[in-house]
Amino acid sequence: MHNRRKFLLNSGALALGGFMFSKKGYASLLDRYAMHPVGLQLYTMGGTIDNDVPGTLKKIADIGYKDVESAFSIKGAYYGMTSKEFAKLTKEMGLSWISHHVGGAPFKMPAGGFKVPPGMDTTRLHQLRSMPPMKNLRDNYQQIIDEVAEGGLKYLVCASIPLSSSAEISESIDTLSRSGEAAKKAGIQLCYHNHTHEFDQVDGKIPYDMLLSQINADILKMELDIGWASVAGADPLDLFKKSPGRYPLWHVKDINTQKAPTEIGNGNVDFKRVFAASKESGMQYFFVEQDGATNPIQSITVSYNNLTTKVLV
């Protein structure tokens, strides 16, 4: 599964052309894939969303996105609002707020800093360095769960957690187990979102496999970031086959030849192949995400158009 030459980088760029769906045709398509309409992870918007939250959400809705997943903000969680206020705003904009990203532990820069692929906007990374401490599951799980419950969310997602040593893995499994139990009591599903390090061996074991095997599937499901999994060499279809029904959320992220996120359809990920396994995976919602987009509105427009005219057909 972890052969780094195996995954999705053999399909080339997606073919040009396609056609726009009728409303009836698009509804039929969504039924076929057993999923909701196209969603967006708001991290894609970088720092621009903090300058005008209502205006940015309106632009997102005008493009055609229906669901959103929130991330951290320099204004504080929920973009300077309470969870109830943010839920009300998204609804007014014609959007459904489905899930929220939180850290699993206090944020710290990795040794040597981030190695950012060329062409990515690093504004968000610089903000992380200067932001005051954010709430995290290790220290604040009950407060976070209470807040997202007040906002009416279905999912809470751990965006990342330390997994670089056996000790960190053990502590992180405890954190996720405790948080998942509390979330379940509140009627919320906890999920874990991968980057690439989860697939690197630690003391002869794969951390991602350990999360799947050592935490009950009822209290921890997964949000598969398809793009970062591709960089790590993990095949989504292998993951779905191993743990069917455990992937209710996806991040639909394309990857270019420099191993950096790009617009859907402008990279090398074979999304048709992955979406064909959506029912086996248990996917209910998916969110377009492009880390470090230099022109977010333009990028999410391209991604939306390519998804609905070239991929989901």
Three-state DSSP state, 88: helix
Assess if residue 7 is contained within a domain: no
Q: Where are the beta strands (DSSP E) in the chain?
A: 39-41, 67-70, 96-103, 155-160, 189-193, 221-225, 249-252, 254-255, 261-262, 285-288
Assess if residue 213 is contained within a domain: yes
DSSP tag of 310: I
Assess if residue 14 is contained within a domain: no
Distances (CA, A) of 241 to 70, 178, 197, 276, 279: 29, 27, 21, 13, 11
68 Cβ contact list (under 8 Å, min separation 6): 39, 40, 41, 42, 57, 60, 90, 95, 96, 97, 98, 287
DSSP 165-218: SHHHHHHHHHHHHHHHHHHHHTT-EEEEE--SGGGS-BTTB-HHHHHHHHS-TT
Nearest to 307 by CA among 280, 271, 267: 271
Assess if residue 28 is contained within a domain: yes
For residues 251 and 38, the answer to whether their CB atoms sit within 8 Å is no
DSSP tag of 124: H
Residue type (1 letter), 257: T
Residue 184's CB is within 10 A of a number of other CB atoms, namely: 16
Assess if residue 53 is contained within a domain: yes
* pLDDT tens sequence for the chain (313 residues): 444 434 444 433 332 233 334 445 545 555 554 456 899 999 999 989 999 999 999 999 999 999 999 998 888 889 999 999 999 999 999 999 999 999 999 977 555 555 666 666 666 666 666 666 789 999 999 999 999 999 999 999 999 999 999 999 999 999 999 999 999 999 999 999 999 999 999 999 999 999 999 999 999 999 999 999 999 999 999 999 999 999 999 999 999 999 999 999 999 999 999 999 999 999 999 999 999 999 999 999 999 999 999 988 8
For residues 183 and 156, the answer to whether their CB atoms sit within 8 Å is yes
Assess if residue 154 is contained within a domain: yes
176 Cβ contact list (under 8 Å, min separation 6): 104, 137, 158, 161, 190, 192, 211, 215, 220
The pTM is what?
0.86
Distances (CA, A) of 93 to 58, 77, 99, 232, 257: 6, 19, 17, 36, 36
Q: How far apart are CA 169 and CA 191, in angstroms?
A: 16
Assess if residue 149 is contained within a domain: yes
Assess if residue 9 is contained within a domain: no
Q: How many domains does the chain have?
A: 1
Return the exposure string of 190-215: e unless at least 16 CB atoms fall within 10 Å of the residue's CB, then b: bbbbbbbbbbeebeeebbbbbbbeeb
| Range of the structural domain that residue 155 is part of | 23-311
β partners of residue 102: 158
| CATH number of the domain to which 281 belongs | 3.20.20.150
